[in-house]
Structure 1
Amino acid sequence: MDKKVKGPVVLADAIRDSLVSGKDGTSRDVHDMYRMGKEQLLRRNFRFFSIFSFTVVLLSTWEVVLGTAAFGLGNGGTAGLVYMYILSFVGYIFVIASMAEMSSMAPTAGGQYHWISEFAPRSAQKFLSYTMGWLSVLAWQCGTAAGCFLAATELQGIIVLNYPNYTLKHWHGTLITILIVLLLVALNTVGVGLLPWLQTCAFILHITGFFAYIIPMWFMGPKPGPSADVFTEFTNQGGWHSMGLSVLIGLITPVTALIGSDSAVHLSEELRNASKSLPRAMLATIMLNGGLGFVTVLTFCYNIGDVSSILDSPTGFPFIQLYYNMTRSITGTTAMVSVMIILSVANATANMTTASRQLFAFARDHGFPFRWVFAHVPTAADDGRWWHVIQVRDIPLNAVLFTGVVSSLLSVINVGSTIAYNQLTSMGVAALLSSYLVSTSCMALRRIRGQSLLPTHFSLGRIGLLVNLIAIAFLALAFVMSLFPPVADPPLDTMNWAIFVYGAVVLTSLAYYLPVGRHYYKGPVAYVRRID
């Protein structure tokens, strides 16, 4: 507990936004941390625009659409890709609106598992928040590994383009991934003070890069076919029993491209005036990235040309082949893809920051083993210890290092099987979707029962229940589709093992919870103070 705050805190509206200190943030931030029973350990380096930039870069929607379009084209074709993107975009608006309201009520690095603890029925809050805490940690650890690997494989794609005789080796990709991980660890430790500035620069590159990619497609791409081809031609390369099912399975492409706006929540204890800035940043992110992604989908589908040649590209990425087909210039294509690689590294950096904060928060609430290790934040009092050499303070250092080790170890799986690695890391999408689903369901149940809600700067008001229910319906559909294999009747080596890994994580969390965790984990609601 912050020693500066004693007794119930009642703050006048006129001074809630006044500054308290560089670390504590505004007096409203102090009020929120006091109510939630949390000590301010992290420094509030972020403001609205820098956290907005951070979240926009983490989503990287138009970039992810280009990088994962092959899956959507194989399951649904151009028409399926367009319609599923529209469905996902609209669905996520309701999801983010629901989470934005909760984030304004409880702006904490814990995010979903904290909200579940506060809003779930008393009988279920402990078990649900504990399980979702484990899954949220897993989701962001997998997301970091996937982001690093994406940047590494894009770099390999450029090498193939420039040196056709080069043979893609799995262990090459693993080594490049580990080098990227080391870079990200450095940025998240000794370079942590630069993160807001670096993410703002990446945001500018994200916007300018969008136009640099889209404009050449409009003027240099294959002659666009008739609109009827884009909006009415469906593809079922997965061999599913119905075209409708194939289209729904293709939903995973836009779902993956639009997921992650909750990353801002996990940095809420490093954001000044968090209860106001968080909901604004989350909603602005989904609207901006969703719009850019939609333009990208339409442009890509209109100018794709020969689909088979794009999907069979030796570079491994359809968008790389598309740009080479348009420009017939290896140098020009290399320059364009280099921008994508820089943005992928920025995306992975944001993922590592988010993953370490999620782990830190869950360990702080006694949910993760060795909590005293991962919840520790170096301060001036620790200057005699080893981390004083690199001048790292006010960040969850051990959580950052653990995230780097996990990403490096996961990349080794790629040596044996790239398919297994991709399935393992993509399982994080299912884990994150389930945390959205359960937290939003708890809020909806509270509204249905007519229970009181916390004060908030962003309220959905009378339409709150409707917004929550639409979000729940969309999340349930997306969660189920994320567990389907890429093709019907897949061989064992291409089976989607996400459901088994998901179940294994739940069982592992229970294996720790029953003998040990239940004696220590009470749930964040146990630390909440009543403010009159």
Structure 2
Amino acid sequence: MVSIGDDKVATSHVDSEPYHSEDGEENVFISEKEGMTADRRDMARMGKRQETRRNFHHITILGFTMVILSTWEAQLATAVYALGNGGTGGLIWGYLIVMIGFGFIVASLAEMASMAPTSGGQYHWVSEFAPRSCQRFLSFIVGWLGILGWGTAAATVTYLAGNQIQGLIILNKASYTPKSWHGTMLIWAILLVCLLFNTFFSRKLPLVEGIIVVLHVAGFFAVMVTLWVMADRAPADTVFKVFTDNMGWGNIQLSVMVGLVGAASCFVGVEAGAHMAEEVRDAAYVVPRAMMWTWVGNGLMGWVMAITFCFCVTDTLAVLITPLGVPFMQVFLNATGSKGGATGLTCLMLIIGIFGCVAVLATASRQLFAFARDKGIPFSNFFAMISPTYEIPLNAIYVTVTLVVILSLINIGSSVAFMQVVSLGVAAMLTTYTISIGCVALKRIRGEPLLPSKFNLGKWGLPINIISLIFIVFIYIFSFFPSAPHPTVESMNWAVLGYGCVILFAVVYYLIRGRHNYLGPVEYVRKGQ
């Protein structure tokens, strides 16, 4: 059975007091560099050398994962998709369906994160659990899709934060005329902040994210209470029972299903803690529980905020076409009746959003670093280099920032086209989830032994894996749909093009060079045993 409540990783670990793991082995703190003896054993089994510092504890990594997901903030920022496709009823019940579905996904990923606590995440798990005949190729493809997914996630969160800044300028300066290039410059400014906290202040990152998670929780109550006290509220029957097809699909059910992608984007990336595993003490125990608590805590806050938001949307069309460009800001303005009030609530969300960007950049760079360490990309030695001064993958951070800068140029041509990056990231990450969970499910079906886990799903493992796969395939299909029927060239969802190009490039690179250089993490595991 799964147990996520009893946190054995007590403060005593830091004080070097021993405790015994479930298998009877003593687990004591070694150093900030190596973490616990269990961490050393896990790294040795996986054939990896400890290069980064394990400065995240159970509380700080939970804060990191809570902030990186920021579900209630993300739900407000992406509510426009569900309001357009499904209305308030579709937003509320669609979000709940997605949250429940992702619960099975998170549990499946958390179990693998405990079996193999490494920054590689999904591509490493595929390498260890896939059938030997295809493990190298599948792992290689998943590695590339992981880089794509986290790279586009960094671009998405910086864009949303920049969009909020533009909305604030419009709100407080009526003469301002927003330009696309303004948005791109704001993305670059936010990236600069993220770069500073991921380099010069990298050792303070656990503390910073720990402080921000307090703001994340306090901000939730500040926004919710303000809206409930000050806003005009729509009738409950209208909020919960009315489903609308504002985009003209001609079918309410189809419209609601298209709107689910917005809710899914609030949960994609929930495995972020796994990519930071090599910087967490007692990672095999702590990381999976941080993932589960992040899903529960953020998920419930997101659903309560979705209900609150929908009660305050008395005129859906007016919110969707707001001149502020940010629907939730219009709701804040309507609720408080003052620019100052709307500005204050938005600034609260903006601060959380920016530090969410900091965490996303950190995670994306660790994914790139890990894949480069296993020789999965060109110039691997450069990307896998650890700075001796900061003890972080500095080159991987710089390259991730450069990727986001390049993607942000799309916004100059079309903000609509740039927002398709959301669908691209969702599709890429869902693919990595599908393949990794599918590999574990196949081993269970074949009756093959799995690695020891401190988060064991036990007899429920196979049903949970299967439900996860069914749900992922369902969301995956709609991630490639346009937001409205009969799209123009500009409004078409081009995510499938970017997704296909990355897979095509990965396949070609694998055939030409990758199959000669990339052995897959499992080969290092075998050598290390």
TM-score of the superposed pair, with normalisation by structure 1: 0.94
2:255 & 2:423 partners in 1: Cα distance?
19
Offset at residue 423 of structure 1 (A): 1.0
1:111 aligned onto 2:121? yes
Counterparts in 2 of 1:347-496, with a 5 A limit? Answer: 347-379=356-388, 392-496=389-493
Aligned residues of 2:233 and 2:313 also touching (Cα < 8 A) = no
One-letter amino acid of the counterpart of residue 224, structure 2? I
One-letter amino acid of the counterpart of residue 313, structure 1? T
> 177-186 or 199-208: which moved more?
177-186
3-state SS in 2 of match to 1:205: helix
One-letter amino acid of the counterpart of residue 174, structure 2? P
CA deviation string 1:19-69 (max 9, x = no partner) = 111111101000000000000011101011111100110111000111111
2:22 & 2:67 partners in 1: Cα distance?
36
- Structure 2 match to 1:50: 60
1:501 & 1:197 partners in 2: Cα distance?
37
Aligned residues of 1:142 and 1:426 also touching (Cα < 8 A) = no
CA deviation string 1:378-416 (max 9, x = no partner) = 22xxxxxxxxxxxx3210010001111111121122111
Offset at residue 151 of structure 1 (A): 1.0
Counterparts in 2 of 1:479-518, with a 5 A limit? Answer: 479-518=476-515
- Structure 1 match to 2:11: none
Aligned residues of 2:261 and 2:423 also touching (Cα < 8 A) = no
1:147 aligned onto 2:150? no
> 410-419 or 286-295: which moved more?
410-419
CA deviation string 1:437-486 (max 9, x = no partner) = 11111111110000001111110000110000111111111111111110
One-letter amino acid of the counterpart of residue 364, structure 1? R
**Structure 1: which 5+ runs fail to align?**
1-10, 380-391
- Structure 1 match to 2:290: 281
1:100 aligned onto 2:110? yes
1:345 aligned onto 2:342? no
CA deviation string 1:153-194 (max 9, x = no partner) = 100000000011210111111111111111111110111011
1:215 & 1:346 partners in 2: Cα distance?
23
2:270 & 2:423 partners in 1: Cα distance?
17
2:26 & 2:167 partners in 1: Cα distance?
51
One-letter amino acid of the counterpart of residue 83, structure 1? W
Aligned-residue RMSD, C-alpha: 1.5
Aligned residues of 2:128 and 2:521 also touching (Cα < 8 A) = yes
Aligned residues of 1:143 and 1:426 also touching (Cα < 8 A) = no
Offset at residue 360 of structure 1 (A): 0.2
Aligned residues of 2:202 and 2:390 also touching (Cα < 8 A) = no
3-state SS in 1 of match to 2:30: strand
- Structure 1 match to 2:520: 523
Aligned residues of 2:123 and 2:432 also touching (Cα < 8 A) = yes
Offset at residue 504 of structure 1 (A): 0.2
Offset at residue 12 of structure 1 (A): 9.8
One-letter amino acid of the counterpart of residue 158, structure 1? L
2:139 & 2:403 partners in 1: Cα distance?
23
Aligned residues of 2:47 and 2:528 also touching (Cα < 8 A) = no
3-state SS in 2 of match to 1:122: coil
Question: Which residue of 22, 47, 50 maps to 1:37?
Answer: 47
**Structure 2: which 5+ runs fail to align?**
1-20
Aligned residues of 1:77 and 1:234 also touching (Cα < 8 A) = yes
Counterparts in 2 of 1:21-100, with a 5 A limit? Answer: 21-100=31-110
CA deviation string 1:244-300 (max 9, x = no partner) = 111100101210112211110000000000000011100000000000011011111
1:279 & 1:424 partners in 2: Cα distance?
28
Q: Measured at CA, do residues 257 and 51 of structure 1 come closer, stay the same or move farther in structure 2, by a change above 3 Å?
A: same
- Structure 2 match to 1:297: 306
The number of equivalent residue pairs is 510
1:15 & 1:510 partners in 2: Cα distance?
43
Offset at residue 15 of structure 1 (A): 5.1
Offset at residue 426 of structure 1 (A): 3.6
Offset at residue 82 of structure 1 (A): 1.4
One-letter amino acid of the counterpart of residue 284, structure 1? W
One-letter amino acid of the counterpart of residue 232, structure 2? P
Q: Measured at CA, do residues 43 and 421 of structure 1 come closer, stay the same or move farther in structure 2, by a change above 3 Å?
A: same
1:524 & 1:452 partners in 2: Cα distance?
19
Aligned residues of 1:16 and 1:26 also touching (Cα < 8 A) = no
- Structure 2 match to 1:314: 323
Aligned residues of 1:18 and 1:26 also touching (Cα < 8 A) = yes
2:181 & 2:27 partners in 1: Cα distance?
52
3-state SS in 1 of match to 2:371: helix
Question: Which residue of 219, 228, 236 maps to 2:245?
Answer: 236
TM-score of the superposed pair, with normalisation by structure 2: 0.94
Offset at residue 531 of structure 1 (A): 8.6
1:526 & 1:293 partners in 2: Cα distance?
41
2:335 & 2:238 partners in 1: Cα distance?
20
1:471 & 1:173 partners in 2: Cα distance?
37
Offset at residue 344 of structure 1 (A): 1.0
3-state SS in 1 of match to 2:204: helix
One-letter amino acid of the counterpart of residue 31, structure 2? S
One-letter amino acid of the counterpart of residue 312, structure 1? I
Q: Which runs of 4+ in 1 moved over 2 A?
A: 11-17, 529-532
Aligned residues of 1:15 and 1:27 also touching (Cα < 8 A) = no
Offset at residue 229 of structure 1 (A): 1.3
CA deviation string 1:207-264 (max 9, x = no partner) = 0000110001111111331x22122211112221421111100101210112211110
Aligned residues of 2:88 and 2:239 also touching (Cα < 8 A) = yes
Q: Percent of aligned positions with the same letter in both sequences? A: 44
Aligned residues of 2:156 and 2:421 also touching (Cα < 8 A) = no
1:179 & 1:342 partners in 2: Cα distance?
14
3-state SS in 2 of match to 1:251: helix
Aligned residues of 2:123 and 2:140 also touching (Cα < 8 A) = yes
